Amino acid sequence: MEAITLSSTNHKMPQVGLGTWKIPKEVCKEVVFQAIKMGYRHLDCAPTYANEVEVGQGIKEAIDQGIVTRSELFITSKLFSTHHHKEHVKLGIERSLSDLGLEYLDLYLIHAPTPLKYVPIEERYPPTLYYDSVEKKIIVDKVPLHETWAAMEDLVYSGLARNIGISNVNASLLMDLLSYAKINPAVLQIELHPYLTRKKLVNFAKSKGIVIAAYSSFGDTSYKGINMLDESIEFIPLLENKTILDIAKNHSVSAAQVLLRWAVQQNIVVIPKSTNAERMSLNLQVYDFFLSEEEIKSIDDLNNDLRFIDPYLYLDRYPFYAN
Protein backbone atom coordinates (compact mmCIF):
# COMPACT_ATOMS: atom_id res chain seq x y z
CA MET A 1 0.00 0.00 0.00
CA GLU A 2 1.42 3.38 -1.04
CA ALA A 3 1.49 6.04 1.67
CA ILE A 4 2.04 9.77 1.93
CA THR A 5 4.24 11.20 4.68
CA LEU A 6 2.60 13.84 6.87
CA SER A 7 5.01 16.74 7.18
CA SER A 8 4.16 17.63 10.77
CA THR A 9 4.95 14.21 12.27
CA ASN A 10 6.44 12.06 9.47
CA HIS A 11 3.62 9.57 10.05
CA LYS A 12 2.60 7.55 6.99
CA MET A 13 -0.96 8.00 5.72
CA PRO A 14 -2.06 5.19 3.37
CA GLN A 15 -3.09 6.82 0.11
CA VAL A 16 -6.18 4.69 -0.47
CA GLY A 17 -8.56 4.37 2.44
CA LEU A 18 -12.05 3.06 3.00
CA GLY A 19 -14.72 5.69 3.49
CA THR A 20 -17.40 4.62 5.96
CA TRP A 21 -20.15 7.17 5.28
CA LYS A 22 -23.45 5.44 4.43
CA ILE A 23 -22.20 1.95 5.28
CA PRO A 24 -25.26 0.48 7.05
CA LYS A 25 -24.82 -0.56 10.66
CA GLU A 26 -25.95 -4.11 9.99
CA VAL A 27 -23.09 -4.80 7.57
CA CYS A 28 -20.47 -2.31 8.76
CA LYS A 29 -18.52 -4.63 11.07
CA GLU A 30 -18.13 -7.26 8.35
CA VAL A 31 -17.31 -4.70 5.64
CA VAL A 32 -14.55 -3.17 7.77
CA PHE A 33 -13.19 -6.59 8.72
CA GLN A 34 -13.12 -7.74 5.09
CA ALA A 35 -11.56 -4.45 3.99
CA ILE A 36 -8.69 -4.87 6.43
CA LYS A 37 -8.35 -8.51 5.41
CA MET A 38 -7.96 -7.53 1.74
CA GLY A 39 -5.35 -4.89 2.50
CA TYR A 40 -6.99 -1.64 3.57
CA ARG A 41 -5.07 0.06 6.35
CA HIS A 42 -6.75 3.46 6.34
CA LEU A 43 -10.33 3.94 7.58
CA ASP A 44 -12.14 7.27 7.37
CA CYS A 45 -14.84 7.64 10.03
CA ALA A 46 -17.03 10.27 11.70
CA PRO A 47 -19.59 10.29 14.51
CA THR A 48 -22.26 11.68 12.22
CA TYR A 49 -21.95 8.55 10.04
CA ALA A 50 -23.62 6.74 12.96
CA ASN A 51 -21.55 3.57 12.64
CA GLU A 52 -18.35 4.13 14.63
CA VAL A 53 -19.27 1.35 17.08
CA GLU A 54 -19.54 -1.11 14.21
CA VAL A 55 -16.33 0.17 12.60
CA GLY A 56 -14.61 -0.44 15.92
CA GLN A 57 -15.99 -3.96 16.06
CA GLY A 58 -14.55 -4.69 12.62
CA ILE A 59 -11.18 -3.31 13.67
CA LYS A 60 -11.18 -5.40 16.85
CA GLU A 61 -12.04 -8.56 14.92
CA ALA A 62 -9.15 -8.00 12.52
CA ILE A 63 -6.71 -7.34 15.36
CA ASP A 64 -7.96 -10.30 17.41
CA GLN A 65 -7.46 -12.61 14.42
CA GLY A 66 -3.89 -11.40 13.97
CA ILE A 67 -4.52 -9.89 10.55
CA VAL A 68 -3.20 -6.51 11.59
CA THR A 69 -1.91 -4.63 14.61
CA ARG A 70 -3.22 -1.27 15.78
CA SER A 71 0.03 0.43 14.79
CA GLU A 72 -0.42 -0.77 11.21
CA LEU A 73 -3.76 1.01 10.88
CA PHE A 74 -4.45 4.67 10.16
CA ILE A 75 -7.80 5.69 11.65
CA THR A 76 -9.40 9.07 11.00
CA SER A 77 -12.42 10.53 12.73
CA LYS A 78 -13.91 14.00 12.89
CA LEU A 79 -15.15 16.66 15.28
CA PHE A 80 -18.78 17.42 14.52
CA SER A 81 -20.06 20.98 14.25
CA THR A 82 -21.96 20.86 17.55
CA HIS A 83 -18.68 20.46 19.46
CA HIS A 84 -16.65 23.49 18.33
CA HIS A 85 -16.47 25.27 21.70
CA LYS A 86 -13.14 24.58 23.40
CA GLU A 87 -14.75 22.77 26.33
CA HIS A 88 -16.57 20.37 23.99
CA VAL A 89 -13.74 19.32 21.67
CA LYS A 90 -12.27 16.74 24.03
CA LEU A 91 -15.74 15.34 24.70
CA GLY A 92 -16.12 14.76 20.98
CA ILE A 93 -12.92 12.78 20.49
CA GLU A 94 -13.39 10.81 23.70
CA ARG A 95 -16.78 9.56 22.49
CA SER A 96 -15.36 8.58 19.11
CA LEU A 97 -12.46 6.76 20.77
CA SER A 98 -14.86 4.93 23.07
CA ASP A 99 -17.11 3.89 20.19
CA LEU A 100 -14.17 2.81 18.04
CA GLY A 101 -12.51 0.98 20.93
CA LEU A 102 -9.25 2.88 20.45
CA GLU A 103 -6.81 4.77 22.65
CA TYR A 104 -5.83 7.32 20.02
CA LEU A 105 -6.66 8.49 16.51
CA ASP A 106 -4.08 8.81 13.79
CA LEU A 107 -5.94 11.83 12.42
CA TYR A 108 -8.71 14.00 13.85
CA LEU A 109 -10.35 16.52 11.56
CA ILE A 110 -12.67 19.43 12.14
CA HIS A 111 -15.48 18.05 9.99
CA ALA A 112 -16.76 21.43 8.84
CA PRO A 113 -16.00 25.07 9.69
CA THR A 114 -19.68 25.73 10.38
CA PRO A 115 -20.24 25.65 14.16
CA LEU A 116 -23.70 24.65 15.33
CA LYS A 117 -25.29 25.12 18.74
CA TYR A 118 -24.09 22.51 21.22
CA VAL A 119 -26.24 19.44 21.81
CA PRO A 120 -25.05 17.35 24.78
CA ILE A 121 -24.06 13.78 23.93
CA GLU A 122 -26.42 12.43 26.58
CA GLU A 123 -29.34 14.19 24.87
CA ARG A 124 -28.73 12.97 21.34
CA TYR A 125 -25.97 10.93 19.74
CA PRO A 126 -24.87 10.47 17.02
CA PRO A 127 -25.13 14.17 16.26
CA THR A 128 -27.23 15.67 13.50
CA LEU A 129 -27.45 19.10 11.93
CA TYR A 130 -30.57 19.86 13.94
CA TYR A 131 -30.58 21.50 17.35
CA ASP A 132 -34.25 20.53 17.52
CA SER A 133 -34.65 17.26 15.65
CA VAL A 134 -38.46 17.42 15.85
CA GLU A 135 -38.83 20.84 14.25
CA LYS A 136 -35.73 20.27 12.06
CA LYS A 137 -34.31 23.48 13.47
CA ILE A 138 -30.71 24.43 12.66
CA ILE A 139 -28.94 26.98 14.86
CA VAL A 140 -25.55 28.25 13.69
CA ASP A 141 -23.32 29.12 16.65
CA LYS A 142 -20.66 31.81 17.02
CA VAL A 143 -17.38 30.01 17.63
CA PRO A 144 -14.18 31.37 16.05
CA LEU A 145 -12.03 28.74 14.39
CA HIS A 146 -9.00 29.76 16.46
CA GLU A 147 -10.79 28.64 19.64
CA THR A 148 -11.59 25.23 18.19
CA TRP A 149 -8.12 24.81 16.72
CA ALA A 150 -6.37 25.53 20.03
CA ALA A 151 -8.45 22.76 21.61
CA MET A 152 -7.54 20.47 18.71
CA GLU A 153 -3.86 21.16 19.38
CA ASP A 154 -4.41 20.14 23.00
CA LEU A 155 -5.53 16.72 21.73
CA VAL A 156 -2.11 16.25 20.15
CA TYR A 157 -0.33 17.33 23.32
CA SER A 158 -2.40 14.85 25.35
CA GLY A 159 -1.84 11.98 22.89
CA LEU A 160 -5.48 11.48 21.95
CA ALA A 161 -4.79 12.47 18.33
CA ARG A 162 -1.47 12.00 16.59
CA ASN A 163 -2.32 14.40 13.77
CA ILE A 164 -4.99 17.03 13.33
CA GLY A 165 -6.52 18.57 10.26
CA ILE A 166 -9.40 20.43 8.70
CA SER A 167 -12.15 19.62 6.25
CA ASN A 168 -14.46 21.57 3.96
CA VAL A 169 -12.71 24.93 4.25
CA ASN A 170 -12.01 27.52 1.60
CA ALA A 171 -8.61 29.08 0.95
CA SER A 172 -9.18 32.27 2.95
CA LEU A 173 -10.13 30.36 6.10
CA LEU A 174 -7.15 28.05 5.66
CA MET A 175 -4.84 31.05 5.29
CA ASP A 176 -6.28 32.54 8.46
CA LEU A 177 -5.78 29.27 10.35
CA LEU A 178 -2.15 29.08 9.28
CA SER A 179 -1.54 32.57 10.66
CA TYR A 180 -2.05 31.47 14.27
CA ALA A 181 -1.75 27.67 14.36
CA LYS A 182 0.96 26.30 16.64
CA ILE A 183 0.45 22.93 14.96
CA ASN A 184 -0.36 23.26 11.29
CA PRO A 185 -3.09 21.05 9.87
CA ALA A 186 -1.56 17.85 8.53
CA VAL A 187 -4.45 17.15 6.17
CA LEU A 188 -7.13 19.08 4.32
CA GLN A 189 -10.06 16.86 3.37
CA ILE A 190 -12.30 18.30 0.65
CA GLU A 191 -14.75 17.36 -2.05
CA LEU A 192 -12.54 16.83 -5.08
CA HIS A 193 -13.17 15.12 -8.42
CA PRO A 194 -12.81 15.96 -12.12
CA TYR A 195 -15.89 18.20 -12.05
CA LEU A 196 -14.41 20.12 -9.09
CA THR A 197 -10.61 20.08 -9.37
CA ARG A 198 -9.94 23.08 -7.07
CA LYS A 199 -6.41 23.54 -8.38
CA LYS A 200 -5.68 26.82 -6.60
CA LEU A 201 -6.74 25.52 -3.19
CA VAL A 202 -4.92 22.21 -3.73
CA ASN A 203 -1.71 23.90 -4.83
CA PHE A 204 -1.82 26.38 -1.95
CA ALA A 205 -2.33 23.64 0.65
CA LYS A 206 0.44 21.52 -0.83
CA SER A 207 2.79 24.52 -0.77
CA LYS A 208 2.25 24.66 2.99
CA GLY A 209 3.01 20.97 3.46
CA ILE A 210 -0.64 20.00 3.90
CA VAL A 211 -1.77 16.68 2.42
CA ILE A 212 -4.99 16.74 0.39
CA ALA A 213 -7.54 14.01 1.02
CA ALA A 214 -10.36 13.81 -1.52
CA TYR A 215 -13.87 12.66 -0.80
CA SER A 216 -16.60 12.08 -3.40
CA SER A 217 -14.05 10.87 -5.93
CA PHE A 218 -16.91 9.38 -7.97
CA GLY A 219 -18.97 12.56 -7.95
CA ASP A 220 -22.66 12.52 -7.17
CA THR A 221 -23.10 8.86 -6.25
CA SER A 222 -23.71 9.47 -2.52
CA TYR A 223 -25.82 12.61 -2.58
CA LYS A 224 -28.99 11.85 -4.51
CA GLY A 225 -32.15 12.21 -2.48
CA ILE A 226 -30.55 13.60 0.70
CA ASN A 227 -30.90 17.35 0.09
CA MET A 228 -27.20 17.92 -0.53
CA LEU A 229 -27.42 18.02 -4.31
CA ASP A 230 -29.11 20.70 -6.41
CA GLU A 231 -31.40 18.45 -8.42
CA SER A 232 -31.92 21.21 -11.01
CA ILE A 233 -28.32 20.95 -12.25
CA GLU A 234 -27.91 18.78 -15.31
CA PHE A 235 -24.71 16.77 -15.69
CA ILE A 236 -23.42 13.42 -16.84
CA PRO A 237 -22.43 11.25 -13.85
CA LEU A 238 -18.66 10.89 -13.69
CA LEU A 239 -18.87 7.11 -13.88
CA GLU A 240 -20.70 7.51 -17.21
CA ASN A 241 -18.59 10.33 -18.64
CA LYS A 242 -17.24 9.45 -22.11
CA THR A 243 -13.78 10.85 -21.40
CA ILE A 244 -13.46 8.69 -18.29
CA LEU A 245 -14.89 5.63 -20.02
CA ASP A 246 -12.55 5.97 -23.00
CA ILE A 247 -9.51 6.20 -20.74
CA ALA A 248 -10.75 3.22 -18.72
CA LYS A 249 -11.13 1.18 -21.89
CA ASN A 250 -7.63 2.16 -23.01
CA HIS A 251 -6.17 0.77 -19.76
CA SER A 252 -8.60 -2.15 -19.34
CA VAL A 253 -9.75 -0.84 -15.97
CA SER A 254 -13.01 0.51 -14.56
CA ALA A 255 -14.14 4.13 -14.67
CA ALA A 256 -13.88 4.20 -10.87
CA GLN A 257 -10.24 3.13 -11.04
CA VAL A 258 -9.49 5.92 -13.51
CA LEU A 259 -11.06 8.49 -11.18
CA LEU A 260 -9.02 7.21 -8.24
CA ARG A 261 -5.82 6.99 -10.30
CA TRP A 262 -6.28 10.59 -11.47
CA ALA A 263 -6.17 11.66 -7.82
CA VAL A 264 -3.44 9.39 -6.45
CA GLN A 265 -1.17 10.25 -9.37
CA GLN A 266 -1.33 13.83 -8.06
CA ASN A 267 -0.31 12.68 -4.55
CA ILE A 268 -3.85 13.03 -3.25
CA VAL A 269 -5.36 10.64 -0.70
CA VAL A 270 -8.67 9.00 -1.65
CA ILE A 271 -11.28 7.36 0.58
CA PRO A 272 -13.81 5.60 -1.68
CA LYS A 273 -16.74 3.88 -0.01
CA SER A 274 -18.09 0.51 -1.07
CA THR A 275 -19.73 -2.46 0.57
CA ASN A 276 -19.14 -4.69 -2.45
CA ALA A 277 -16.08 -6.90 -2.02
CA GLU A 278 -15.16 -6.88 -5.71
CA ARG A 279 -15.35 -3.09 -6.00
CA MET A 280 -13.47 -2.67 -2.73
CA SER A 281 -10.68 -4.80 -4.14
CA LEU A 282 -10.64 -2.93 -7.46
CA ASN A 283 -10.43 0.39 -5.62
CA LEU A 284 -7.10 -0.75 -4.17
CA GLN A 285 -5.77 -1.65 -7.62
CA VAL A 286 -4.85 1.83 -8.81
CA TYR A 287 -1.08 1.40 -8.96
CA ASP A 288 -0.98 -1.07 -11.85
CA PHE A 289 -1.42 1.55 -14.57
CA PHE A 290 -0.28 5.10 -15.28
CA LEU A 291 -2.19 7.96 -16.86
CA SER A 292 -0.37 9.94 -19.52
CA GLU A 293 -0.03 13.72 -19.32
CA GLU A 294 -2.60 13.98 -22.10
CA GLU A 295 -5.03 11.78 -20.18
CA ILE A 296 -4.55 13.79 -16.99
CA LYS A 297 -5.19 17.00 -18.92
CA SER A 298 -8.31 15.63 -20.59
CA ILE A 299 -9.67 14.71 -17.16
CA ASP A 300 -8.69 18.09 -15.71
CA ASP A 301 -10.55 19.77 -18.56
CA LEU A 302 -13.81 18.26 -17.30
CA ASN A 303 -13.75 20.76 -14.43
CA ASN A 304 -16.77 23.03 -14.28
CA ASP A 305 -16.71 23.83 -10.55
CA LEU A 306 -19.67 21.54 -9.94
CA ARG A 307 -20.04 21.10 -6.20
CA PHE A 308 -22.13 18.20 -4.91
CA ILE A 309 -22.05 19.18 -1.24
CA ASP A 310 -22.78 22.80 -0.35
CA PRO A 311 -23.85 24.13 3.08
CA TYR A 312 -26.14 26.56 1.26
CA LEU A 313 -28.41 23.68 0.30
CA TYR A 314 -28.54 21.75 3.57
CA LEU A 315 -27.50 24.22 6.28
CA ASP A 316 -30.27 26.80 6.24
CA ARG A 317 -28.85 28.76 3.29
CA TYR A 318 -25.40 29.13 4.89
CA PRO A 319 -23.42 30.89 2.09
CA PHE A 320 -19.99 29.44 2.85
CA TYR A 321 -18.89 29.10 -0.77
CA ALA A 322 -20.68 32.23 -2.01
CA ASN A 323 -18.97 34.30 -4.70
Q: Which of 49, 118, 131, 195 is catalytic?
A: 49
User: Is 49 one of the annotated active-site residues of the chain?
Assistant: yes
Distance separating alpha carbons of residues 33 and 26, to the nearest angstrom: 13
Cα–Cα distances in angstroms (integers) from residue 17 to residues 54, 110, 225, in the given order:
17, 18, 25
C-alpha 274, offset from chain centre: 14
Q: What's phi and psi for 191, nearest 5 deg? A: -65, 125
CA atoms lying within 13 Å on the CB side of residue 301: 9
CA–CA distance, 43 with 292 (Å, rounded to integer): 29
Q: Where are the beta strands (DSSP E) in the chain?
A: 3-5, 12-14, 18-19, 42-44, 74-79, 107-110, 164-167, 187-191, 211-215, 269-270
Are 59 and 100 a contacting pair, CB within 8 Å?
yes
Residue 294, CA atoms < 13 Å, CB-side half-sphere: 3
Q: Is 111 annotated as a binding residue?
A: yes
Q: Report the catalytic residues.
A: 49
Please give the annotated binding residues, written as ranges.
111
Please give the annotated binding residues for substrate, written as ranges.
111
